[in-house]
């Protein structure tokens, strides 16, 4: 990390921890979109696009959300409109990597056209597994805040048994909830039985969802549709942890007064310091691999 030149453009509270961590490792950190944030470390520099020599930059770190379709970047520490352009990327040295949380067609296009490596941090297993812990804690906090009964003893149905689903199931089970998990794969059912969880096959969801107090979705496509919602108790709470647009028919749920909460970006909301350390650790690994 020592003497690497890293440019951060935009970001939220998580990125304050990223900046401090990378600077402590000896990197020179250049910041665009952090006018309202102050740092005492001498190797952290506030700058503007027009004032920065992009030919010296070894890596660019974008916010978790990346850019919008026009290249605009979200920032929590500036009122200015900030854009990433293909010309900016082209000015970087050929070894420069572009890191983002998620990508879109705009980012894919400009990095492909400029022949620069694009790394989608949130597509990596290591970051997703680390992030599953604050995500599960956030889901538990939501459940406690939006119900008038204890989680202990309540009936909880989790849809999906991937990186997030496993951690959520473990956490709710640990506090005494009666946890069932809805999946398709036989291997997942075997793993659940070993963990003491109740497996439900996806084809049986409508029949099993009727007595559930809390339903937590982790599947990133529509699974809690109007048919499933019609089978649920009106008093049930649905927490959707899937990325936008989620896996719930929110309009139908609203019309039938079923409480739904789309828990987007929970790591950054419930534990920004921890989430920032995770991003910094994974980003450092990416840089180390790129420079070997």
pLDDT in tens, 217-232: 999 999 999 999 999 9
- Cα separation, 118 vs 112, in Å, equals 8
User: For the chain, what is the largest distance between any 2 Cα atoms, rounded to a whole number of angstroms?
Assistant: 62
As a whole number, the mean pLDDT across the chain is 94
- DSSP-derived secondary structure for 204-259: GHHHHSTT-SEEEE--SS--B-HHHHHTS-TT-EEEE-SSTT-SB-HHHHHHTT-E
Confidence (pTM): 0.86
Q: Encode pLDDT of 253-283 as tens digits.
A: 999 999 999 999 899 999 999 999 999 999 9
Judged against a pLDDT cut of 70, whether residue 291 lies above it is answered with no
User: pLDDT by residue (tens digit) across 21-61?
Assistant: 999 999 999 999 999 999 999 999 999 989 999 999 999 99
Residue 1: per-residue pLDDT: 64
Q: Does the pLDDT value for residue 203 go beyond 70?
A: yes
pLDDT recorded at residue 243: 87
pLDDT of residue 140: 98
> Does this chain's domain 5-121 share its CATH topology with 127-269?
yes
Among 206, 195, 200, 208, CA closest to 184: 200
Q: What is the pLDDT of residue 3?
A: 84
- Find, among 141, 143, 145, 101, the residue nearest to 122 by Cα: 101
Domains in the chain: boundaries: 5-121, 127-269
Which tens digit of pLDDT belongs to each residue from 170-199?
999 999 999 999 998 989 999 998 888 999
CATH 3.90.1150.10 fits domain 127-269: no
Residue 292 binned pLDDT confidence (cut-offs 50, 70, 90): low
Statement: residue 135 has pLDDT above 80: yes
Question: What separation in angstroms does the CA of 4 have from each of 23, 43, 203, 287?
Answer: 10, 11, 52, 9
pLDDT at 22: 95
CATH, range 5-121? 3.40.50.720
């Amino acid at each position: 990390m020592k003497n690497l030149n890293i440019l951060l453009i935009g970001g939220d509270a998580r990125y304050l921890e990223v900046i401090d961590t990378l600077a402590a490792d000896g990197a020179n950190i250049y910041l665009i979109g952090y006018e309202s944030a102050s740092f005492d470390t001498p190797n952290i520099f506030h700058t503007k696009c027009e004032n920065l020599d992009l030919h010296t930059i070894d890596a660019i770190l974008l916010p978790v959300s990346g850019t919008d379709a026009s290249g605009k970047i979200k920032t929590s520490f500036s009122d200015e409109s900030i854009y990433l352009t293909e010309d900016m990327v082209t000015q970087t040295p050929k070894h420069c990597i572009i890191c983002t949380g998620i990508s879109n067609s705009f980012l894919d296009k400009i990095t492909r056209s400029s022949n620069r490596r694009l790394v989608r941090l949130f597509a990596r297993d290591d970051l997703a597994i680390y992030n599953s812990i604050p995500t599960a804690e956030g889901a538990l906090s939501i459940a406690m805040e939006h119900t008038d009964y204890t989680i202990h003893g309540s009936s909880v149905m989790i849809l999906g048994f991937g990186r997030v689903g496993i951690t959520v199931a473990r956490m709710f089970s640990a506090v005494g909830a009666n946890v069932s998990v809805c999946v398709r794969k036989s291997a997942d059912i075997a793993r659940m039985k070993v963990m003491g969880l109740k497996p439900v096959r996806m084809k049986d969801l409508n029949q099993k969802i009727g007595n559930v107090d809390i339903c937590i979705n982790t599947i990133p496509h529509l699974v809690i549709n109007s048919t499933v919602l019609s089978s649920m108790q009106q008093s049930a709470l649905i927490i959707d942890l899937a990325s936008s647009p989620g896996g719930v028919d929110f309009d139908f749920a609203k019309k039938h007064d079923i409480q739904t909460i789309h828990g987007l970006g929970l790591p950054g909301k419930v534990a920004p310091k921890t989430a920032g350390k995770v991003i910094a650790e994974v980003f450092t690994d990416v840089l180390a691999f790129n420079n070997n």
